[in-house]
């Protein structure tokens, strides 16, 4: 199953692959060159298909956990000052996506969208310290029944040129549902309440709509 945002790119890639394979077959004489072109075209198509894959994730929504919004690796866990919306300290968890990861963004929690904004910007590499504030990005805030407001930010990377965001202010959303896509993009930041109990560690690989990122604090933690 492939994401709808990849439909046009997949069709173009398929067309170019077919053309390359047939042109090479009929017009390229050296066998090694013909096979090289054909295999390169097929490899290109496979990479495009892999990038836009959209595996079905069965989720039983719950209000006690924040789930990973994307597939990738946890690269930041720290307490920071969130300056765009909250303007106060929050716990930040950042997930980096390589080109091999699924790039679908899913809602980390159920609730109501209270803020959704697109920011044009640069295309610094995703691990650059200023990528969260300088790169092309979207900021979305979800009001949840138990965590209060949580914020996630889709951030474009060096290869990304388009972020797709489906969140609209005022609409209800369900944990695990499709929230958007980052085309050839690379990072999502979560900003959570300070009393959230983080469930992941640095460099841990996470799966969107499956891995628990944070829980409500237990009575023993309070």
* Model pTM above 0.75: yes
Q: Is residue 191 part of a domain?
A: yes
From first to last of its 222 residues, the chain has per-residue pLDDT tens of 888 888 898 999 999 999 999 999 889 889 999 999 999 999 999 988 888 888 889 899 999 999 999 999 999 999 999 999 999 999 999 999 887 888 899 999 999 999 999 998 776 665 555 666 677 889 999 999 999 999 999 988 766 557 889 999 999 999 999 999 887 657 899 999 999 999 999 999 999 999 999 998 866 665
Q: Is residue 60 part of a domain?
A: no
Q: Is residue 220 part of a domain?
A: no
Q: Is residue 169 part of a domain?
A: yes
Pair (25, 75) in one structural domain: no
Domain count, the chain: 2
Which pLDDT does position 85 carry in this prediction? 97
Pair (24, 96) in one structural domain: no
What token pair was written down for 102? 């699924």
Pair (31, 98) in one structural domain: no
Residues annotated catalytic, as ranges: 186
Q: Is residue 42 part of a domain?
A: yes
Q: With contact defined as beta carbons under 8 Å apart, do 112 and 148 qualify?
A: no
Instruction: List C-alpha distances in Å: 84 to 8, 139, 160, 173.
Output: 34, 9, 22, 22
Q: Is residue 208 part of a domain?
A: yes
Half-sphere exposure of 31 (CA within 13 A, CB side): 0
Pair (10, 81) in one structural domain: no
Q: Is the dihedral of CA 189, 195, 198, 199 positive or negative?
A: negative
Name the residue range of residue 103's domain.
65-215
Which residues lie closer than 8 Å to 32 by C-beta, 6 or more apart? none
Q: Is residue 8 part of a domain?
A: yes
| CATH code of the domain in which 172 resides | 2.70.70
Pair (136, 204) in one structural domain: yes
Pair (201, 163) in one structural domain: yes
Pair (37, 71) in one structural domain: no
Q: With contact defined as beta carbons under 8 Å apart, do 156 and 136 qualify?
A: yes
Pair (112, 44) in one structural domain: no
Pair (42, 73) in one structural domain: no
Pair (160, 200) in one structural domain: yes
What token pair was written down for 3? 């994401």
Q: With contact defined as beta carbons under 8 Å apart, do 100 and 123 qualify?
A: no
Q: Is residue 222 part of a domain?
A: no
Q: Is the dihedral of CA 177, 182, 185, 191 positive or negative?
A: negative
Pair (157, 199) in one structural domain: yes
Pair (154, 203) in one structural domain: yes
């Amino acid at each position: 199953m492939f994401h709808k945002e990849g439909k046009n790119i997949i069709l173009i890639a398929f067309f170019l692959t077919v053309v390359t394979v047939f042109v090479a077959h009929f017009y390229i004489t050296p066998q090694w060159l013909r096979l090289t072109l054909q295999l390169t075209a097929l490899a290109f198509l496979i990479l495009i298909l892999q990038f836009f894959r959209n595996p079905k994730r069965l989720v039983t929504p719950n209000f006690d956990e924040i789930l990973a919004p994307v597939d990738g690796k946890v690269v930041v866990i720290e307490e920071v000052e969130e300056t765009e919306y909250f303007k106060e300290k929050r716990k930040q968890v950042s997930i980096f996506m390589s080109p091999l990861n699924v790039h679908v963004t899913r809602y980390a929690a159920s609730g109501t969208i209270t803020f959704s904004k697109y920011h044009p910007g640069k295309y610094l590499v995703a691990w650059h310290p200023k990528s969260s504030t300088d790169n092309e990005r979207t900021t979305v805030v979800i009001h949840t029944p138990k965590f209060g407001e949580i914020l996630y930010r889709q951030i474009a990377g060096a290869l990304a040129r388009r972020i797709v965001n489906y969140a609209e202010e005022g609409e209800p959303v369900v944990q695990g549902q499709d929230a958007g896509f980052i085309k050839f993009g690379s990072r999502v930041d979560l900003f959570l309440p300070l009393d959230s109990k983080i469930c992941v560690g640095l460099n841990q690989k996470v799966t969107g709509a499956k891995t628990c990122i944070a829980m409500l604090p237990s009575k023993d933690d309070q």
